[in-house]
Structure 1
Amino acid sequence: MMNRLRPTFVAGIAAILLLMTNETVAFWRMGCRGRTGLVRIDPLVSPGTISEHIHAIHGSSGFSDKATYQDLMNGECTSCEVAEDKSAYWHPALYFQDAATEKFSLVPQVGGMLAYYLLHPNPGNKTLSSFPAGFQMIAGDTNQRNFSYPVPDIEKSLWGQHPYNTQAFLRQAALGFNCLNYNVAPEGALYRHFLPDKDFLDANCPQGVRFELMFPSCWNGQKEIPPNKMDHMAYPSQVMTGECPEEFPERLPSLFYEIIWDTYAFKGQQGRFVIANGDPTGYGFHGDFIMGWDEDLLRKAVNTCTNLSGVVSDCPLFTIQDPSVAASCSLASVPIVAANEGKKIENLDNLPGNLEVQAGPAYAHGEMSGQKKHNAKVNSPHLEPHHEQEYAKQQEPPVVKPPYPTAESESNPILPSAASVPIAPVAPVAPVAEEKKIPSPVEPAPPAPVTPAPKIQEAIEPDTRKYFSTEYKTVGNEVIKILWIEEVVTVTVFKAETVTLADRKRSHMEYHVQGLAKRQINHAHRLAIGAGK
């Protein structure tokens, strides 16, 4: 069934407006509508070798298994809208595993990806730093397989207390899996931190699922990149906004990835979706970034191109490419083994790299930057929903149950919103097998040892009881699952109080002002009508 792609979708346009003490924040929406490659290379985790899992790669054609800043800058083209952006943006691909055949097929990627540059300065500042030449970072943890905090997230006003004021929590809260249905109100960004099960996606998400990843934006100022590509960065207190830790005082542009996958193309088929790193839960989704801008140009753009529209053509410093030019860009050089793998997208016996599926909730054992961990054979996991399925199945369709209430929805203030800027309909990314350009082969790296595909067994009947949240704790070698049940107790208290009309009005206004201050982001995605940018 994968020899055809779903009908063209219009990628929802995000109108982002941050309201904090009456300040609005600028951003750019960098569209990278085509992939430069679908290959098993990762210069940050596996420099000079074939990486464990396959990635969808966007940006400079100079990307390779050993790519440096200068290599990216020397690339002949970029798949992104702005010709000056030779950065590399990459993330694992998504596959569907058929329950009957146990085969894997690549899920169509819709419209490439979007990389948002959100220009959030530190509180009290009007400017921010920019990425220096040679800057690299990774967001997310490829081996994560559980979420040890309440689901959904607690109110952000409570994030200042333990354990929500830790980088461990903020890293996990930086993932989002947004159910797309353009006929109903959209879900909020980073609302859900796990990949919903297939039944939920089939029933509620006709336009697929949007993977979201927020990168840390607080920098320690050290240009030397640590081995794990993470320790030089930290998240602000509310992931996307808030204050930086004292040890990471410099604020960089907040990088935010969006990738849409056409999961609806597999509607009605029994099976599961698995990220290329062997993760069926979503908790192990991650992304990589290498800065590929002229340093002076980026510095000027960050502090002068502050239009609130998010449209890159509003910045006079940028050269906007013709979409056909960006779409034709592909990697200049790919190892033979990796190039051949990227052409096979249907009915695969194993995930590329022969990875096993590790459903958790125990920590997985994949390769990480700064240290190599090779997959060992373990008992094949059953094809059963991951441990948050109870929550996913309890959710009513979006048209019935809106997203988890925020301070905005609770207080119902009337708020201004940023204007959405329509763009032309975007066709799904063509499979790599159909790419016109064939990368020039180089010496192949040794292939990874073959691991038998996991056997798919009948799913265990899920627990239908409803729980307030699910928590996992590790004690020694055991992982303990804790199911929290919410008990509602109603207490009626009678209190006589005399309040003047003026006081009541002032109290009501303060209530709305407080609700407005709590609001962090208005992230709306809607169907674009007509042609645009």
Structure 2
Amino acid sequence: MKGDIGEQGTCTTCAYTEDFSNYWTAVMYFRHENGSYKRVPQYANAQLGTEGKDAPDIQGGMTIYYTQQDFTSNGDQHITAFQPGFRMTVGSPTTSTLDAAKANKGLRYTCLQTILTRGSETPDFPAKPCAAGIMAIHHFPNCWDGVNLDSPDHQSHMYSTVKGGFQVSGACPASHPVRMPQLAYETMWNTTVFKDMWPKDGSQPFVWSYMDNKGYGTHADYVFGWKGDSLQRVMNDSCMFHKCGSPGVQSVLKTQTIAEMNKCAVKNTVTEDTEGWLDELPGQHMAAVKFTA
């Protein structure tokens, strides 16, 4: 999608009504011992869905963070919001070694013992069953060259000084001097539904949709789409997390209910089965045909 998608969108699944950005990461599948695959469901992160016990569940499990410094403070740096037309990616599906995965400090997994488990991050898929599922984590670079809204590889216009977790990132270099929001995704995968199907030989059974069974190639995409100056307003404010749009306080942003969030959906145009038990990962047969043609 080209242009200012913040002005093109008609609804959003985000809590903040002015956020029409596109957030994407690959889909996780469980590989059964018999060779079939089934999509791993997502679930909502902690502290989301706080409208009461009778409120509907949030559909999906990706949480998006825009932090100015870390989890406890906004700091005192000026943060320049992303601009209309901006996009970037982090990670690469071609990453195939553990050393290369370790070098991507912002890309990690947490084996959840509870929904609140944090820390103990690994650069590859957890080797044992996780009591509350797997959280995939993507921290994007936040140093911009100040000129290009994109680059041929979708990464060169940005520079990463990420240290891992939500620690304060390092200083931006002269080549990429503009500090932007620290964007991060946390995606909650409910692997517990397969706890009784774990391979008898103890091997790790999860795989990304592009046939990565190690987890080294985890990656994510971002296309900016906040309306008007809404994201810059937040970056200029001292609010943090829910307080940027919570009812009953002087809010910087507008919020919507979970029911309103769930009403927003894109019409499915995929005719291939992606939900049941599959003989192969979606798209693999089509890719093979294209490759050999």
TM-score relative to the length of structure 1:
0.46
Q: Kindly, what percent of the aligned residue pairs are identical?
A: 29
Question: 16, 31, 43: which one pairs with 1:97?
Answer: 31
One-letter identity of the residue aligned with 1:317: V
SS class of match (1:139): strand
Structure 1 residue 243, shift from structure 2 partner:
1.3
> What CA distance in whole angstroms lies between the structure 2 residues aligned with 1:177 and 1:196?
7
Among 260, 272, 289, which residue is 2:222 paired with?
Answer: 289
Alignment counterpart, residue 82 of structure 2, candidates 131, 135, 143: 131
Of 231-240 and 77-86, the range deviating more from structure 2: 231-240
User: Is residue 143 of structure 2 the alignment partner of residue 143 of structure 1?
Assistant: no
- Count of matched residue positions in the alignment of Structure 1 and Structure 2: 260
Q: Of 192, 199, 204, which aligns to 2:122?
A: 192
Measure, in 2, the Cα distance between the counterparts of 1:182 and 1:348.
29
Distance change (3 Å), C-alpha of 1:312 and 1:182: same
**Matched residue, 2:207:** 274
Structure-1 residue corresponding to 2:185:
257
- Counterpart for residue 233 of structure 1: 158
Larger radius of gyration: 1
Other-structure match for 1:347: 277
Deviation at 1:233, TM superposition (A): 0.4
Partner deviation per Cα, 1:90-135 (whole Å, 9 max, x = no partner): 11010011112x11100111122100001129x9953211101111
Aligned residue identity for 1:192: T
Shift of 1:186: 3.0
| Aligned mate of 2:239, from 273, 296, 307 | 307
Higher relative contact order structure (alpha carbons within 8 Å, sequence separation ≥ 6): 2
Flag the 1:104–1:311 CA change in 2: closer, same or farther, 3 A.
Answer: farther
2:21–2:225 contact (8 Å) kept in structure 1: yes
What is residue 171 of structure 2 aligned with on the other side? 243
Given that 1:210 and 1:260 are in contact with CA atoms closer than 8 Å, whether structure 2 keeps it comes out as: yes
What secondary structure, in the 3-state scheme, does the structure 1 residue paired with 2:95 have? Answer: coil
Structure 1 residue runs of 5 or longer lacking an equivalent are 1-66, 154-168, 356-446, 452-533
Cα distance in 2 for residues equivalent to 1:143 and 1:247 = 26
Native 8 Å contact 1:217 1:235 kept in 2: yes
Give me the whole-angstrom Cα distance separating, in 2, the residues matched to 1:312 and 1:266: 37
Question: How far apart are the structure 1 equivalents of 2:196 and 2:39?
Answer: 17
Q: Distance in 2 between the 1:235 and 1:77 partners?
A: 31
What does residue 22 of structure 2 align with?
88
TM-score normalized by structure 2? 0.81
Q: Per-residue CA shift, 1:206-261, capped at 9, x if unaligned?
A: 11010001000010101341111100001116255121222111110000100011
Contact 1:69 1:292 in 2 (8 A): no
CA contact (8 A) 2:69 2:75 kept: no
Looking at structure 1, the residues matched to 123 and 240 of structure 2 have their Cα atoms a distance apart, in angstroms, of 28
TM superposition shift of 1:69: 3.7
Amino acid aligned to 2:233: K
- Matching residue's letter, 2:217: G
Kindly state the Cα deviation for residue 296 of structure 1 after the two structures are TM-superposed: 1.9
Match of 1:317 in 2: 252
- Residue 268 of structure 1 aligns to a residue whose secondary structure is helix
Instruction: Give the Cα separation in 2 of the matches to 1:224 and 1:237.
Output: 20
- Change in Cα spacing, 1:143 to 1:213, as seen in structure 2 (3 Å) is same
Matched ranges for 1:27-106 at <5 A: 67-100=1-34, 102-106=35-39
Following superposition, the deviation at residue 76 of structure 1 comes to 1.6
SS of 1:110's equivalent in the other structure is coil
Contact conserved, 2:31 with 2:206, CA < 8 A, in 1? yes
8 Å Cα contact 2:30-2:206 kept in structure 1: yes
Contact (CA 8 Å) 1:237, 1:243: kept in 2 or not? Answer: no
Q: Distance in 2 between matches of 1:105 and 1:246?
A: 46
Q: Which residue of 1 aligns with 2:56?
A: none
* Matches of 2:158 and 2:245, distance apart in 1: 30
Work out whether residues 95 and 217 of structure 2, in 8 Å CA contact, stay in contact via their aligned partners in 1. Answer: yes
1:243 and 1:71 mapped to 2: Cα distance? 30
